[in-house]
Structure 1
Amino acid sequence: MKRTILAPLLILLGAYLLFNQGGMISTGSIFATFWPTLFVIPLGLFFHWMYFSMVGRKGVGLLIPGGILLTAGIVSQIASLFDNWGTMWPGFILAVAAGLFEFYWFGSRNKWMLIPINILTVLSLLFFVVFSIGPVLSYLSIVQPLIAILLVLGGAWLILGQRKRG
């Protein structure tokens, strides 16, 4: 039991030290960085543990807050580690879809549940794409000359390859 709790904490602390080289480390900075892992994710796991170990199929409603908290905790932890809240916020919409999907999957499989699940998932993925395209395009502007050269070479190869065959 101790290893189960201690192992992820050691991994996260090591990752934090790796990414925060040269910065001051204090209890406040650790709490500010790892609050999702310390508070939100364990609460989501607690709801899952309650369902799978304690109450079983009659407590399927526990999976809705469990899925929401677990997914929101993972999204928050990634956003906190990499300081990219502007890109990761659609994960909170996906968190609701994840909680509802667990309720659907382990519950009575009411097909009408798939409507809000799919709407929320598509909306979340759409926002992820829209808010991620800016950083991707700014990265492409750095690599643009290389892409241009590859496109010119690819077109020339296609033209020269056609002449050899014809």
Structure 2
Amino acid sequence: MTKRTILAPLLILLGAYLLLNQGGSVGAGSIFATFWPTMFVIPLGLFFHWMYFSLVGRQGIGLLIPGGILLTAGIVSQIASLFDSWQTMWPGFILAVAAGLFEFYWFGSRNKWLLIPINILTVLSLLFFVVFSIGPILNYLSFVQPVIAVLLVLGGTWLILGRKRHG
């Protein structure tokens, strides 16, 4: 592994943080508070994957469960930390368990019974993502509500008047 493969993502993340920071203070504490998933959780998940794919192979299939969970949870945490969106990103932790189990299924013996909890957790996570994202999206689009209301009233009026003409 070269210095470039380590330095490049760090520079990209630091640049993204400085762009998103919008003139706030930049210090070791704020960088640590923002990028703790990238510094600790994601590398640990990658370490478990590296151990499976490079060192132990098929004997260590169980390494993929914590590897998938930590990698997915680290990505979810990093996104939530960068955009301060913990209230909408928390279902990603349910998805993290599904990702770890799916890796175990995919690279393991493909036991079909593993698909039951994988599908339940995935659907539950996606359902929670949708439910908890609708409110912020509607709040963001609140200026469109009067336009939609006027269109609905006009559409209903058109349906009523249209029937009287044909009837």
TM-score (norm 1): 0.88
In structure 2, what is the equivalent of residue 87 of structure 1? 88
Number of residue pairs aligned between Structure 1 and Structure 2 = 159
In structure 1, what is the equivalent of residue 45 of structure 2? 44
TM-score (norm 2): 0.88
In structure 1, give the amino acid aligned to 2:22. Answer: Q
The verdict on how the C-alpha distance between 1:110 and 1:17 changes in structure 2, with shifts beyond 3 A counting, is same
In structure 2, what is the equivalent of residue 9 of structure 1? 10
In structure 2, what is the equivalent of residue 74 of structure 1? 75
Provide the C-alpha distance between the structure 1 equivalents of 2:15 and 2:85, rounded to a whole number of angstroms. 20
Task: Note the residue ranges of structure 1 that are not aligned, 5 or more in a row.
Answer: 157-166
Report the CA distance between 1:126 and its aligned residue. Answer: 0.7
Task: Note the residue ranges of structure 2 that are not aligned, 5 or more in a row.
Answer: 158-167
Provide the C-alpha distance between the structure 2 equivalents of 1:45 and 1:21, rounded to a whole number of angstroms. 31
Report the CA distance between 1:41 and its aligned residue. Answer: 0.2
Percent of aligned pairs with the same amino acid: 88
Provide the C-alpha distance between the structure 1 equivalents of 2:100 and 2:8, rounded to a whole number of angstroms. 26
In structure 1, give the amino acid aligned to 2:139. Answer: S
Provide the aligned C-alpha RMSD in A: 2.0
In structure 2, give the amino acid aligned to 1:65. Answer: P
Structure 1 residue runs of 4 or more that deviate by more than 3 Å after TM superposition: 145-156
In structure 1, give the amino acid aligned to 2:91. Answer: P
User: 1:68 is paired with a residue of what secondary structure?
Assistant: helix
Provide the C-alpha distance between the structure 1 equivalents of 2:42 and 2:89, rounded to a whole number of angstroms. 16
In structure 2, what is the equivalent of residue 34 of structure 1? 35
| Bigger shift: residues 139-148 or 39-48 | 139-148
In structure 2, what is the equivalent of residue 160 of structure 1? none
Provide the C-alpha distance between the structure 2 equivalents of 1:12 and 1:150, rounded to a whole number of angstroms. 44
User: 2:5 is paired with a residue of what secondary structure?
Assistant: helix
